[in-house]
Structure 1
């Protein structure tokens, strides 16, 4: 895990998770395109909010590999490390593609009543299988940003899961980038802006649910 920005008086923390593939035990190298693709996203979040501690994770392996055990363990360890460095701060997970799936699975036990610091998720072109569970997400805001020209994970492929999540009471915010593709290179400024807006919405929604006094709120969002 690498730090993009770690302000002394941080009001929130953001962990950025990169994409990958369904099946691969190949290590993720420092020059992996999937990992590097999220560097501009992480920097955009850090620029937009100077009070947010922003971190970027590089997974041990490229694939989900059946049950996602390895990539989930990587993300869980990163969240624990952030919580140790920034006690009591809300953590937002931002995940692209496979990273979106990791974020959603990791957040299932999160929420204002849970012990963990994760308060919500921003999924960028997230990989969401129809059978993925939605239980445990009703208190976790989820912002989803997708592109109309995404051929790797078309918006229609995520509809079954998103519909189930909505029926289960998950608080969803859906944004579509017209002409956006899976790589997030085309219309990248729009992707970055919508991602930042998603982070802010997650923090505000989580704070409202937790009934945190407005006077404690920072520009990135309130403390928990």
Structure 2
């Protein structure tokens, strides 16, 4: 059967809602590929690798009123100027406001999803972004980050998305916005399979910390307080409580 044209697809979300009123939302954005207008696969690796992150955030945040949403895109590709995942992220942010009002939102994205998260970071509901192995080409525009926190993590052996791109973007961002920090996950690549527990714990703490549900790790707060060029190549070491 031929793929449907992109215009007929619809984004949708998997959600875990708290039992009471929603006080905040963690919106999770999965990765994809540079180009693609076919029907996305619900069981793709890009989707599967984000479900544990959504699950951890939900487990730790639901009691505090945090809803966890995982966005399914209309199409699997970024598709150049169309920036389709960013358009879908804007739709999800509008849907959050429609359902829950002007609650604070954090965005957690991997690879292409991290690019989409950063692209829509200046939305009025967004208070922070956790960008995991973000795909950030040199020409990627800089959003208005005033009043928002940007936390990034990148594997030092990422052969799919060069970590130099996220570092250079972080330098540009921190030059004008102090609440930026970047961490290096030593010895791992792009897929977040090695040291998966560390990636998941970092994403959970970043999300719930930016929502002020739990304290950010001292490693994170210290990096945020650093002046350029420090605070952007910090080895990720997960606290062992």
Q: Does TM, scored on the shorter chain, surpass 0.5? A: yes
Q: In structure 2, what is the equivalent of residue 11 of structure 1?
A: 23
The one-character-per-residue Cα deviations of 1:171-218 (angstroms, maximum 9, x if unpaired) are 2122222223211111111001111121133234xxxxxxxxxxxxx5
C-alpha contact (below 8 Å) 1:203/1:220 kept by paired residues = no
**Equivalent in the alignment of 1:150:** 158
CA deviations over 1:17-63 (Å, ceiling 9, x no partner): 01011122122122222112211111111112223100101111111
Correspondence for 1:180 among 185, 188, 191: 188
1:92 matched to 2:100? The reply is no
Q: RMSD across aligned C-alpha pairs, in angstroms?
A: 2.0
SS class of match (1:192)? helix
Partner of 1:121: 129
Match of 1:132 in 2: 140
- Which ranges of structure 2 fall in alignment gaps of 5 or more residues? 1-11, 217-241
Which residue pairs with 2:231 in the alignment? none
1:4 positional shift: 3.7
Report how many aligned residue pairs link the two structures.
202
**CA-to-aligned-CA distance 1:99-148 (integer Å, 9 cap, x gap):** 000010111x33xxxxx211111101111122212241233211101112
Aligned counterpart, 1:208: none
Of the three residues 190, 204, 209, the one matched with 2:198 is 190
Q: What TM-score, normalized by structure 1, do the two folds share? A: 0.83
CA–CA distance in structure 2, aligned partners of residues 43 and 77 of structure 1: 22
Q: Distance in 1 between matches of 2:149 and 2:15?
A: 24
Q: CA offsets per residue over residues 138-169 of structure 1, 9 Å max, x none? A: 33211101112211113223222221111122
3-state DSSP of counterpart to 2:26: strand
Query: When the two structures are superposed, what TM-score results if normalisation uses the length of structure 2?
Result: 0.77
Native 8 Å contact 2:120 2:143 kept in 1: no
With over 3 angstroms needed to count, the CA separation of the structure-2 counterparts of 1:25 and 1:45, relative to structure 1, is: same
Alignment of 1:1-224 (within 5 A): 1-7=12-18, 8-50=20-62, 51=64, 52-107=66-121, 109-110=122-123, 116-204=124-212, 218=213
1:119, 1:13 → 2: CA distance?
10
Deviations 1:64-105 (A, max 9, x none): 111243222211111111122221310111110000000101
Bigger Rg, structure 1 or 2 = 2
**2 CA distance for matches of 1:219 and 1:187?**
22
